[in-house]
Amino acid sequence: QVEFVESGGGLVQPGGSLRLSCTASGMNFSVYSMAWYRQARGKQREWVGGISYGNTTNYRSAVKGRFTISRDNNKNTVYLQMSSLIPEDTAAYYCNTAGVDHSWGQGTQVTVSS
């Protein structure tokens, strides 16, 4: 059974930074393109950005230049480095395969507020 465990969220002031982690188990992690998603309260879950198995990255326009995705296949972990955070980034953040092939993890809450 595939499982994703996200961590690293918290409360941060506007302009601050956070690094999220997502560790996968039960899958051959290195062959999958992975992605980060987020869901703000009362809104639909949205794609934030992704990283291919070959380490090519792409991002939604709202986070481009502020967020960076990386992966460590030895640790079955994908990272989301977030900087210059704004209140609109407040959401629960999740990872999954790029094709959303598996059940969602519990997510990690990011709150950007002064």
Query: Distance (Å, rounded) from C-alpha 12 to C-alpha 87?
Result: 9
Assess contact for 22 and 81: CB atoms under 8 A: no
pLDDT grade for 91, boundaries at 50, 70 and 90: very high
For 110, what's the count of Cα atoms within 13 Å in the CB-facing half-sphere? 31
Structure tokens at 12: 């941060």
pLDDT grade for 99, boundaries at 50, 70 and 90: confident
Query: Distance (Å, rounded) from C-alpha 66 to C-alpha 88?
Result: 13
Assess contact for 81 and 70: CB atoms under 8 A: yes
Quick one: pLDDT at residue 100?
Answer: 86
Query: Distance (Å, rounded) from C-alpha 21 to C-alpha 9?
Result: 9
In this prediction, residues 30-53 reach a mean pLDDT of: 97
In this prediction, residues 24-47 reach a mean pLDDT of: 96
Sign of the dihedral through C-alpha 58, 83, 105, 28: positive
pLDDT grade for 48, boundaries at 50, 70 and 90: very high
Sheet containing 10-12, strands listed edge to edge, beginning at the edge strand earlier in sequence: 10-12, 108-112, 91-97, 34-39, 46-51, 57-59
In this prediction, residues 40-60 reach a mean pLDDT of: 97
In this prediction, residues 1-25 reach a mean pLDDT of: 97
